Structure 1
Amino acid sequence: MAKRSGRTPLVADKRYSAGSRKTPARKSARRSKPKSKGWFSFLFGGGKAAKPKPTKRKPAPRKVAARKSSPRKRKPKGFFGRIRYAIGGLFRWVFGLFWGFTWRIGMVVCTLTALAVGYHYLQLPDVSALLDGRARGSVTMLDRNGQVYAWRGDQFGGVVTTQTVSPHLKNAIIATEDKRFYGHFGISPRGVASAIRINMRAGRSPLSGNGGSTITQQTAKLLCLGVPYDMDVWESEKAYEADCRQGSLWRKVKEAIYALAMESKYTKDEILTIYMNRAFLGAGARGFEAASQRYFGISAAEVDPAEAAMLAGLLKAPTRYAPTNNLQRSQDRAQVIVGLMHDQGYLTVAQAQDARNNPAQLSKAAAARAGGYFADWVMDKIPSFFGDQTTEDVVIRTTLDQRLQTAAEEALTYIFDNKVREGSKAQAAIVVMSADGAVRAMVGGRQSRVSGVFNRATQAQRQTGSAFKPFVYATALELGYSPLDLVLDAEYCLNIAGSGQWCPKNYTHKFYGEVTLARALRDSLNIPAVKVSEAVGRDLVRQVAGDFGLSSDLADGPALALGASESTLIEMTGAYAGILNGGSSVTPYGLVELRLMDDDEAMIGTSGGMGERVIQTSAAQQLTWMMEKVISEGTGRRAQLPGWQVAGKTGTTQAARDAWFIGFTAEYVAGVWMGYDDNTPLSGVTGGGLPAEIWRETMIRVHDGLAPVALPMQAPAPLVVPTPQPNPERRNNGNGPKLGRELGRAVDGLLKDIFGN
């Protein structure tokens, strides 16, 4: 055994044999090579490497175990290898810098988001305070029978919850708007990504079109992110809502934060409840209860799958898909929703097929959409704080008769479809009322099922033409003249100050000699009408017409008698109602009673009806007798009703720009106007033509099922004195000829005219 040296053997000495102990020395020598100097030297070699100096091997440190060093990366060889290595190093440096910056920014963003969510969480009120968020109230209109026919403003039918609505409706909403509603935390990244993809494929900007919003986000938008409407801040409610609906990126961020706060504050069912009560669903309906009542006449708790699908389909575009605008389009949209409900397991195959085979239908009231013009007229007559600016829910009982309204609409459609040339832009209007002025039907134009548009029945001021003549003869009859008194129809001229000579002409451009007042009105002769007006006095004629309700400015000159003044159809119809009721003035009205919802006491009562007497009953009844001759023998023959006595008058203005027919039976008075909005002359149309036919078609339908009743008219007593003595009361204060001098000049002619022999 060899003698041990004074040094304890190292572990390394034992690891290597004598022949292999040079290996560590070679590794040490390789590590001692000088490093390259700079990037240039690294890339291009940097010259000859210095020869390493031999070093003495040092004894390894005395450690129990050597630390394991990480493997060294081999440097790339060659020019291109060094290029790749340099680029990789650059990218690693940039990534490290980016990552260090990103996670710090992320921490800041998360902190700010948490603070914002916490702030909104603390600001959110109790759920009950968010269910009815309307800035204004609603107006519900009832017809004369107490049936709802029209709504105005924002109607809120009452609070519904996820427990009280029909399960089909709840499922339809979730299937349509957010099928993962009960699984996400208020935001759906998958939905946002899908929406962006769809928008970009459609050529839109990422945020235009589909929004990918969850029901929670949509609810946040409906709440306008907690910002209340303030009239002092916003120009209008419309501007406020437009700001709430904007889709900017920053708005989306705030919307997401508010949605997170809602998810933290409320349960899923509470969020869905808010959504169902605040969603706008077209036709002024706010919430699904109001929409269900508006379109189907039932509660949201009663809707079936087809009706639920139609209501849920409104969420995408309430106005476009409103069934009152286009029922077929709404039904087609509902078919898509039924498919979604089936695909997501909410409907069985049988239920889905039944919903497709039996699509939802509108209620009778919603389908009729009756009285749009009428409802607008009533709204214009009430104070704005009870009307379009109301903050309360108001109920108005009106005079409208939906059966008569439908009759007028159908009559107008029938005449324009069958008697008016295709493409004509002519318009027409109809008013039907009772003798006391209660308006029963109103059509303000050819488009009958509309609202908020120009109403030709109440807003169009048009010349009345010969339809004004009854008030000339009413004045004469009130002064004691008889319908059988004579007036000379011959050439007649008047000098008008500032205008020169004026000579009225008959429509036929003929003269008929001495005619009775009854015949002059029957044949709508112009010259006798002017003579009678001048005889009794224009001022008195204006007074009588005004007292009957023609409140528009009446002409001052002699053309007053020929209807040169302008008036509205409802004023003219109301004035004729005064003749029917025996000579008392009439104020047309549609409002019977206005009250607040759930309040039995009326706030406003009837604002119209019969007023003071204008002419004596006998004069009104004799005038009715004269006007009956217009229908039975004169220019209004086309207005005859089988089995009914009818009185009325035609009217055609200069150049046929306006054509009128106004008449009445013992039950109703109706007026019809026809013309162009731009005053273009009518082609071949007079008051005794198409307007009389529209009147007849309307009144046939109006009187359907009613027993005929005789008109309240009085025939004049036959003349027994050949030449009546002039009555001083009939003078015109020297301003015109005495009518008595022209009356009764030929008894034989009078008898022939009356009795035909």
Structure 2
Amino acid sequence: MATSGGGGGRRLRAERRTPPKGRGRPAKAAPKRKARRPRRSRSLLRRAITLPFRALWAFAWRLSLVGAAVLAAMVAWTAIRLPPAAEMFDGRARGSVTLLDRHGEPFAWRGDQYSPVTVDSVSPLLRDAVVATEDRRFFSHLGVSPRGVAGAMRINMREGRGPLQGHGGSTITQQTAKLLCLGTPYDPAEWESEAAYEADCRRTTLARKAFEAIYAMAMELRYSKEEILTIYLNRAYLGAGARGFEAASQRYFGHGAEQVGAAEAAMLAGLLVAPSRYDPTRNLERSRERAETVLRLMHEQGYLSQAEHDAARADPATLAPRARQSTGGYFADWVMASGPEFFMEDTTADVMARTTFDPAIQAAAERAVETVFAEQVREGSEAEAAVVVMSADGAVRAMVGGRDLDATGAFNRATMARRQPGSAFKPFVYAAALDLGYPANSTVVDEPITIRVPGSGAYTPRNYDGRFHGRVTLTEALARSYNIPAVRVFEEVGREAVAQIANDFGLDTDLAQGPAVALGASETTLISITGAYAGILNGGRSVTPYGLVTLSTRADGTVMEQTGGMGERVISMDAAEQLVWMMSRVVEDGTGARAALPGGQPVAGKTGTTQEGRDAWFVGFSADYAAGVWMGYDDNRPLTGVTGGGLPADIFREAMAGVHAGDPPRALPMRTPEAARAPGPVPGTAPTPVPGLASQPLPVPQPDRTVARSPEGGNAVERALIEVLGEILGE
């Protein structure tokens, strides 16, 4: 490199690093620059690519805007049409009936029970349990939870169901909308029943889910969260006929919803997912397991501390004694059918019906049926049984309509089955003779007899043992259940007289069947013949079996009251008391010996076995109660080896022994033949002797030789004579 010193020296220049042109390697040619496309063609391509997306986006956001506007309008329109929240609490189309026993305690319920509550009136633990179980985000969402719906659809598909089958992911607000059936009221003209209406409301389709979401958002717009939760607490069905949490708390625990603790609140909230499956009256352990899940959710969400959670698990909810009550279903069905339809079936109010039902007597009757069938009937037998127990005035205390003791709405053999009573009808044949003045020690000849029946030919009755016993007393004939003496008395005192007495006591008697009526050929029901025996017990007055005492509503108080089932006198007191004595001999030394009670409690009654053993009966009474027992097959097949003096008498004994457990013996209202009035002619007729029926003279004849008349009009024959004389005289 050259250097220069002063001002006249040469300039410094760097050495050339590249050879000059023409020397060495030729210089590399500069690369050619690509020709730029015209700016216009590039813009057209980009627009061609992006235009569809821009158009789609523009359409989408405009459509979304329109959809949002339409949705908002629909929500607003629905919200405007919603009624006040208080009008949404009780949506039942019908009221309910609570049946009370003779002590005033509930034992059966019909229809959905309901009592109103508010969020502020229930226990805070109950509110927390419901929110923790059903919708933890209830207080933050706007009625619909997309995350919850997506999660539920994923669970459903993972479990092999359709996306809308199973879990719904619905919020409490959506569930309330469904309970309200999206505002559609029940119309009997459109749905055949309330059950069909509710099933239609629970249908799940895409369209219905969409309307449900709109209705839920409208509710959020119209009501506060507290009002929505209050509607839900009142509308939810919680099993066992309980509509709403107040009714459920009363039903299961015997106290109001404001008193429930953590364990009880968890059990009630656990019912929401499946009321029938987790019904504690059906399966308490399963319900408790579900309650533990709810307690865990409450703890995880901060509603319960660890100590509170552990304490609730250690002390699970228990049911009130009456919650386990599953007895008296047949009786309840009978009362509901026999009461005024306006209050029992078509009521729009909540009715309290006080009845004659006695749970202790019912338990004794049910226990008797279970014991006898378990110990004395072969396993697998389809034979059925029915039992009725009533007081002497006809107040029914217990009823078993079949071997399925927990049944409701089932065929009631005690009130619906019409069967032939057989020899259980014979007391009414002898009642006619006694009422005519023949004492119980009158005699009748037991020997062959043939009666010509117009249109049917000859009728020749036979005794069960196939023998003839000569002259026997009426008492012996009844105690031994001889057929021929019963037919003779029936024919000789008059078929019409017997039929009149039986009808007045409440039995239908078909005289067209001829002499066979004396042996119980006319059909009747168990409750009717038990009522007729109650008439014998009470001294000869008719009774109408009844179970309803009072009806009352919350608004109007007592609207109906039953004072008793006693009716007019049918036979004289003297005749009734002698008949009781004759029937006591049936148990003492006759066909009903197996009905005798332990402890010396006196009872009387009569066995009955129909032709070929199709029906077996024992009907009788103590000093306080009349009871009837029937056994047979529903298809009318013959029983095998069963007579009225066998298994029916055993059931009677077991039932009445339970009824009178601990009671001192009480004498029956009876009179021996020696204490009865002397026999005499029927007033207005000649005292001609009757061929087959003779009266034994009493040691001391009474001065009054006429049949006793009752204040209500005398015996059946006298009333018939009065009617005939009235027609003759034109009165």
- With normalisation by structure 1, the TM-score equals 0.83
CA distance in 2, matches of 1:522, 1:613: 25
In the alignment, does 2:654 pair up with 1:648?
Answer: no
| 1:625 Cα deviation from its structure 2 partner | 0.3
In the alignment, does 2:228 pair up with 1:271?
Answer: yes
Structure 2, unmatched stretches of 5+, are 1-26, 699-731
| 1:314 Cα deviation from its structure 2 partner | 1.8
| 1:167 Cα deviation from its structure 2 partner | 2.0
2:618 to 661, 664, 671: 661
Letter in 1 for 2:658: R
| 1:290 Cα deviation from its structure 2 partner | 0.7
Deviations 1:409-461 (A, max 9, x none): 22222222222222222211111111111111111112222322211111111
Corresponding residue for 2:659?
702
Corresponding residue for 2:359?
402
Letter in 1 for 2:139: Y
Cα 1:203/1:449, change in 2 over 3 Å = same
CA distance in 2, matches of 1:33, 1:273: 69
| 1:624 Cα deviation from its structure 2 partner | 0.3
Letter in 2 for 1:145: H
Q: Secondary structure at the residue paired with 2:272?
A: coil
Deviations 1:265-301 (A, max 9, x none): 2222211111001111122221110111112110011
Q: Mean alpha-carbon deviation: is it higher for 608-617 or for 224-233?
A: 224-233
Corresponding residue for 1:687?
644
Question: Are the equivalent residues in 1 in contact too, given 2:437–2:682 (CA < 8 A)?
Answer: no
In the alignment, does 2:632 pair up with 1:626?
Answer: no
Q: Secondary structure at the residue paired with 2:458?
A: strand
Corresponding residue for 1:743?
694
Corresponding residue for 1:208?
165
In the alignment, does 2:288 pair up with 1:331?
Answer: yes
Letter in 1 for 2:111: G
In the alignment, does 2:257 pair up with 1:251?
Answer: no
In the alignment, does 2:179 pair up with 1:222?
Answer: yes
Cα 1:419/1:237, change in 2 over 3 Å = same
CA distance in 2, matches of 1:686, 1:328: 44
Q: Mean alpha-carbon deviation: is it higher for 357-366 or for 470-479?
A: 357-366
| 1:306 Cα deviation from its structure 2 partner | 2.1
Question: Are the equivalent residues in 2 in contact too, given 1:314–1:321 (CA < 8 A)?
Answer: yes
CA distance in 2, matches of 1:125, 1:98: 42
2:264 to 279, 283, 307: 307
User: Aligned residues, how many?
Assistant: 669
Corresponding residue for 2:594?
638
Corresponding residue for 2:724?
none
| 1:576 Cα deviation from its structure 2 partner | 0.4
Question: Are the equivalent residues in 2 in contact too, given 1:536–1:732 (CA < 8 A)?
Answer: no
Question: Are the equivalent residues in 2 in contact too, given 1:162–1:269 (CA < 8 A)?
Answer: yes
Deviations 1:695-744 (A, max 9, x none): 111111111232221001001029999xx9x95779999xxx96455537
Corresponding residue for 1:678?
635
Corresponding residue for 2:60?
102
CA distance in 2, matches of 1:586, 1:636: 24
Letter in 2 for 1:252: K
Letter in 1 for 2:694: L
Cα 1:744/1:472, change in 2 over 3 Å = closer
Tell me the percent identity: 59
CA distance in 1, matches of 2:496, 2:615: 25
Corresponding residue for 2:86?
128
CA distance in 2, matches of 1:373, 1:337: 37
Corresponding residue for 1:341?
298
| 1:361 Cα deviation from its structure 2 partner | 2.6
Corresponding residue for 1:577?
534
Cα 1:218/1:567, change in 2 over 3 Å = same
Question: Are the equivalent residues in 1 in contact too, given 2:439–2:676 (CA < 8 A)?
Answer: no
Alignment of 1:712-731 (within 5 A): 712-717=669-674, 727=681
Deviations 1:636-667 (A, max 9, x none): 11111122110011111112111111111111
Deviations 1:661-707 (A, max 9, x none): 11111111111111111112222111111111111111111112322
1:146 to 104, 120, 145: 104
CA distance in 2, matches of 1:221, 1:706: 57
Cα 1:276/1:106, change in 2 over 3 Å = same
CA distance in 2, matches of 1:370, 1:582: 32
- With normalisation by structure 2, the TM-score equals 0.86
Letter in 2 for 1:263: E
Corresponding residue for 1:481?
438
CA distance in 2, matches of 1:456, 1:510: 34
| 1:349 Cα deviation from its structure 2 partner | 3.6
Cα 1:329/1:510, change in 2 over 3 Å = farther
Corresponding residue for 2:197?
240
Cα 1:358/1:428, change in 2 over 3 Å = farther
Structure 1, unmatched stretches of 5+, are 1-19, 36-68, 74-88, 748-757
CA distance in 1, matches of 2:645, 2:39: 122
In the alignment, does 2:512 pair up with 1:506?
Answer: no
RMSD: 3.0
CA distance in 2, matches of 1:578, 1:131: 50
Q: Secondary structure at the residue paired with 2:319?
A: coil
Q: Secondary structure at the residue paired with 2:277?
A: helix
CA distance in 1, matches of 2:58, 2:369: 77
Question: Are the equivalent residues in 2 in contact too, given 1:483–1:517 (CA < 8 A)?
Answer: yes
Deviations 1:16-47 (A, max 9, x none): xxxx9x989844x4537999xxxxxxxxxxxx
CA distance in 2, matches of 1:367, 1:150: 11
Corresponding residue for 2:729?
none
CA distance in 2, matches of 1:446, 1:181: 49
Alignment of 1:326-475 (within 5 A): 326-475=283-432
Cα 1:607/1:742, change in 2 over 3 Å = closer
Q: Secondary structure at the residue paired with 1:320?
A: coil
Deviations 1:122-181 (A, max 9, x none): 112222111122211111222111112222122212x21222211221122122211222
Q: Secondary structure at the residue paired with 1:365?
A: helix
2:503 to 534, 542, 546: 546
Deviations 1:234-261 (A, max 9, x none): 4433333222221111111000001011
Cα 1:341/1:424, change in 2 over 3 Å = farther
Question: Are the equivalent residues in 1 in contact too, given 2:577–2:670 (CA < 8 A)?
Answer: yes
Corresponding residue for 2:709?
none
CA distance in 1, matches of 2:459, 2:88: 72
CA distance in 2, matches of 1:259, 1:205: 23
Cα 1:236/1:644, change in 2 over 3 Å = same
Deviations 1:506-536 (A, max 9, x none): 1222222221111111011111111111111
Q: Mean alpha-carbon deviation: is it higher for 704-713 or for 210-219?
A: 704-713
CA distance in 1, matches of 2:596, 2:398: 20
Cα 1:486/1:439, change in 2 over 3 Å = same
1:590 to 516, 523, 547: 547
Letter in 2 for 1:237: E
CA distance in 2, matches of 1:599, 1:656: 52
Cα 1:436/1:207, change in 2 over 3 Å = same
Corresponding residue for 1:605?
561
| 1:383 Cα deviation from its structure 2 partner | 2.1
CA distance in 2, matches of 1:136, 1:562: 48
In the alignment, does 2:41 pair up with 1:31?
Answer: no
Cα 1:527/1:322, change in 2 over 3 Å = same
Corresponding residue for 1:7?
none
Deviations 1:97-119 (A, max 9, x none): 65444334323322211111000
